[in-house]
Amino acid sequence: MRSAKLRRLATVLLVVGVLFVEAPSKNASGKIKGAILDVNYARVANAIVRVSGGEIKRSLRSNDEGQFEISLPAGNYEVSVEANGFRRFLYSSLKVQPNETEMINIHLDVAAPKVLAPASR
């Protein structure tokens, strides 16, 4: 009788332990971290970084060193970067894993200058 109770208790503890270990990983977040660089590897400060995936849409700016970091729920994301004088950058599929940091360095190309035509009279 006593050994049957101990076995039941051990089974319950094992099941609870498995659920406790599995549950956080499903909802855990990860990070995207990186730097925004120009074609000469100079850091691009104040670039707008937009991250979207599913219902999540977030934006932030790179710091004075051109670096950024964002925590997100695990999943697939699209990352776009815009900065004055540069072409828009798009990374269409970046996978964020639970409890991991995805490192990316983004190289921006210089935008072509806009030529304005003189106004006709």
Distance CA 8, CA 3 (A): 9
Question: DSSP state, 66?
Answer: S
pLDDT tens-digit readout, 58-104: 999 999 999 999 999 999 999 999 999 999 999 999 999 999 999 99
Domain limits of the chain? Answer: 29-107
* Whole-angstrom distance, CA of residue 35 vs CA of residue 65: 8
Span 41-68, average pLDDT: 97
Q: Work out the burial of residue 47: count CB atoms within 10 Å of its CB; fewer than 13 is exposed, 13-18 middle, 19 or more buried.
A: buried
CA nearest 80: which of 97, 112, 57, 102? Answer: 57
Instruction: Compute CA distances 54 → 23, 34, 51, 74, 82, whole Å.
Output: 21, 22, 10, 11, 21
Chain-centre distance for alpha carbon 86: 21
Max distance between CA atoms of the chain, in angstroms, equals 103
CATH class as words, domain 29-107: mainly beta
Check residue 19 and give its pLDDT: 44
> Greater confidence, 121 or 118?
118
